Amino acid sequence: MKVLFRIFFLLLICSAETSVAQYIQVNDTYSGQQLIENVLVNNPCANVTNFSVSGDTFGGIQKSYGYFNAGTSNFPFTEGIVLTTGKATSAVGPNNLILSDGGTSWLGDSDLEAALGVSNSINATVLEFDFIAITNKISFDYIFSSEQYLLNATTNQCSYTDGFAFLLKPIDNSLPYQNLAIIPGTSTPVKINTVRGIGSVCPPANQAYFDAFNGANHPTNYNGQTVKMKAEADVIPGKTYHIKLVIADQGNNLYDSAIFLGANSFKNNIDLGPNKLFATQNPICFGETYNLIATQTGNNTYKWFRNNIEITGEVNPIYTVTDSGIYKVEITINGTSCVAATGEVNIEYSPLPVLNSPNILVQCDENFDGITTFNLRKLDATITIGNNQLSGLTYYESLYDAKNQINPIPNPTAYQSATSNQVFGRVTNSFGCANYAIINLEIANNSIVSPTITKCDAGATGFVNFDLNLDVTPQIVLGLPFGMIVEYYLSANDAVLQLNPLNTLFTNTISNQQTIFARLINGSDCYGIVPVLLKVIPFNPQELDDETFYLCENDTKTLSISNGYSSYLWNSGETTNSISITLPGNYWVTVTNSAGCEKTKNYVVLASSSAIITGIDVSDFIGYENSILVNFSGNGTYSFSLDGLNFQNSPLFTNVTIGDYTIIIKDTNGCPNTISGIISVSDYPKFFTPNGDGTNDYWQIQNFQNHAQSILYIFDRYGKLITQVDTSGLGWDGTFSGQILPADDYWFYLELNSNKIIKGHFALKR
């Protein structure tokens, strides 16, 4: 479809000129000299010669170069020259064809290849000429357009790039050409892959210089183009140069490209220096002057303009700028009527930083010697009015030093001066424009009473907690102006510099006595610095330590404190140094000494009582395993004894030997002991030897005096009753009816008067 449309479109145009109102118009009948003299240069002062143009003529019908004008379109150039790698007339919009007009026999250009570092160029169009430089700079405007700006490119097409170059060199030497078609500020040639915008799969590059990918309704028939750019070079006035403007396809003859050169844009320029703009971060600072130098050799006249309005009476080659504007100079060479050179520069002025000035910084003089330390940095935010876009606030002792940036105050957070009461702050904005603020230094010498604050130390450690806001501040500010702020510091120097402020809940760091310093602030000024003596009074008498004791039933106890204190207050309401109590419970007394220190003594009074014996269980007649268990009641803590000497915590006595005992129960809390009657532990021997030697001649129940009414029977092993023994007598002598019985085991039956029966056996040994 695109090819059929192209055939139809070609039928509507002649080989000389096309004219469609919303598109550019192209005339390809111009010669090289006409394109240079009448279009590109168009200045009677210009000295241009040796014109040459080459390209393809497409069988003598059409050319690859020509004149164009914008018609009624919005193309950036009103008119100019077009150089293409195809037919010049094919450059006319709309953009609905892919232009690939050049044939394979149309050669490339070796100078272009050398300048761009490429090979295999094809379809080259070249426009070249010589000129004599009038000023020290030349320039001209151009736009690069190409079908290779593909919005819907594939990734393998991203490296395709046609090339062009604006080649310049003096004609009297063999230096290589200088390429002027470069990205500003770099040495990178302008090509498809060095200037491209976003929107396709191909990576963008130097987007600021890319105009757009084109839709169908565009003044030209190319897929995209750069913005209007400027090619420029430094030259030597009076020297002859050769310039060669060349464009070519690279690699193959497909996807044509074009260079549009702005009419009348080839200028012998005067370099008035760079633009001074906010956008480029280099505006001139308010109040400064800036010289524009247009001086050229010869009998020249100069005319200066500001915002296209002539500056009356300014005819010198140097103009001093004092205000923002677009400044231009026109130079008429050697008394002719020809304006041979122009120069233009855009100047913007930055306002100076807005500062708060003058300022007053009031500081205290802790020793009243007329010298103190100022923290100038306290004024940083005040001077800059909180503008964090300003920077470099530096302090100096004189305005001269500040303006010349010499001898800055090395430590503005601790500045001392005995000779000057004024310093200066220098501040710059983001463009380096400086302004200056005055700081007047004053010393406050207000008289403030130095307080002594005492606090009692109930722990006698030498350290207590002070609430400086409650304990100290009210005494300091009494009688001073309302709204005073008080800060506290460990040293006078810290107070002067406001370094390391103390927490208002402060524990002294030196035992018993320490001096700290209070800084009084009235608004933003230091009103005064005053020492504060903190004294710690130990108050921890040992007799006021808490006590716990026991109160026996029906007893009375006196709680007493020595009478050397100023006051006493018991929880019962009594105010004497002692009270009597009859009930257990919690009691306390608060005592106050002559210094006003208070301490509270706590008494915990617990109930106790003597034990009550409710029964005694004696387990005897079991040899070494005899025991006594005391049964008791009571709410005390008790220990138990059988002899009044040795006490134990348990009421159970084991391994009790034969004997009589008196049980004593002692209350460990001090209540009276409980004493039992006599308790007997009885037993019987396991054998006896009735041989008349006076030892073990009788067998009898031992320690049995408390059981006098008991009955004791003895039997032989066959159960025969041998005898009934009187438990209060000597016992059995080992005979039966006067006959000596043989050695053997014998059994006994003991019936106690408590109806308790004990049975056992023993041995008779001969």
pLDDT, average across residues 395-422: 91
pLDDT class of 130 with cuts at 50, 70, 90? very high
Q: d(Cα 261, Cα 701) in Å, to the nearest integer?
A: 150
pLDDT at 335: 65
Q: d(Cα 553, Cα 240) in Å, to the nearest integer?
A: 134
In the DSSP assignment, the letter for residue 5 is: H
pLDDT class of 95 with cuts at 50, 70, 90? very high
**Dihedral (CA of 390, 391, 395, 399) sign:** negative
pLDDT at 300: 84
pLDDT over threshold 70, residue 20: no
The residue among 745, 747, 746, 753 whose CA lies nearest residue 728 is: 753
pLDDT class of 706 with cuts at 50, 70, 90? low
From residue 149, give the alpha-carbon distance in Å to each of 108, 165, 221, 224, 576.
Answer: 21, 18, 12, 5, 109
pLDDT digits (tens, 9 = 90+) for 507-539: 999 999 999 999 999 887 889 999 999 999 988
The residue among 67, 110, 413 whose CA lies nearest residue 261 is: 67
pLDDT at 159: 83
Q: d(Cα 720, Cα 526) in Å, to the nearest integer?
A: 122
Q: d(Cα 210, Cα 226) in Å, to the nearest integer?
A: 4
pLDDT at 19: 44
The residue among 219, 31, 245, 26 whose CA lies nearest residue 131 is: 245
pLDDT, average across residues 95-106: 92
- Rg, Å, the chain Cα set: 62
For residue 366, what are its two tokens?
A: 């802790």
pLDDT at 358: 94
pLDDT class of 1 with cuts at 50, 70, 90? very low
Which are the contacts of 451, defined by CB distance < 8 A and separation ≥ 6? 472, 475, 476, 530, 532, 533
Which is more confident, 594 or 370?
A: 594
Mean pLDDT of the chain: 89
Residue 98's identity, in one-letter code, is: I
Q: Above pLDDT 90, what percent of the chain? A: 64
pLDDT, average across residues 699-708: 74
At residue 14, φ and ψ (nearest 5 deg) are: -95, 170
**Dihedral (CA of 234, 239, 245, 250) sign:** negative
pLDDT digits (tens, 9 = 90+) for 445-497: 788 889 999 999 987 889 999 999 999 999 999 988 888 999 999 999 899 88
**How many C-alpha atoms does 142 have within 13 Å on its Cβ side?**
27
pLDDT class of 11 with cuts at 50, 70, 90? very low
pLDDT class of 677 with cuts at 50, 70, 90? confident
- 703 within 8 A of 683, measured Cβ to Cβ: yes
pLDDT at 5: 34
pLDDT class of 13 with cuts at 50, 70, 90? very low
Which is more confident, 43 or 287?
A: 287
Which is more confident, 102 or 45?
A: 102
Between the CA atoms of 5, 9, 15 and 16, what dihedral angle is there, to the nearest 10 degrees?
A: -140
In degrees, rounded to 5, the angle at the alpha carbon of residue 266 between the alpha carbons of residues 262 and 267 is 130
In degrees, rounded to 5, the angle at the alpha carbon of residue 578 between the alpha carbons of residues 574 and 581 is 80
For residue 746, what are its two tokens?
A: 């014998």
pLDDT digits (tens, 9 = 90+) for 534-558: 999 988 888 889 999 899 988 999 9
Terminus-to-terminus CA distance in the chain, angstroms? 153
pLDDT over threshold 90, residue 357: yes
Q: d(Cα 559, Cα 675) in Å, to the nearest integer?
A: 30
Lowest mean pLDDT across 126-130, 271-275, 450-454, 703-707:
703-707
Q: d(Cα 390, Cα 395) in Å, to the nearest integer?
A: 15
pLDDT over threshold 90, residue 47: no
pLDDT over threshold 90, residue 689: yes
pLDDT at 573: 93
pLDDT class of 562 with cuts at 50, 70, 90? very high
pLDDT, average across residues 671-677: 88
pLDDT over threshold 80, residue 318: yes
Q: d(Cα 118, Cα 165) in Å, to the nearest integer?
A: 12
pLDDT class of 7 with cuts at 50, 70, 90? very low
Q: d(Cα 176, Cα 638) in Å, to the nearest integer?
A: 122
Lowest mean pLDDT across 11-25, 382-396, 414-428, 709-723:
11-25
pLDDT at 754: 67
Q: d(Cα 582, Cα 585) in Å, to the nearest integer?
A: 10
pLDDT over threshold 90, residue 334: no
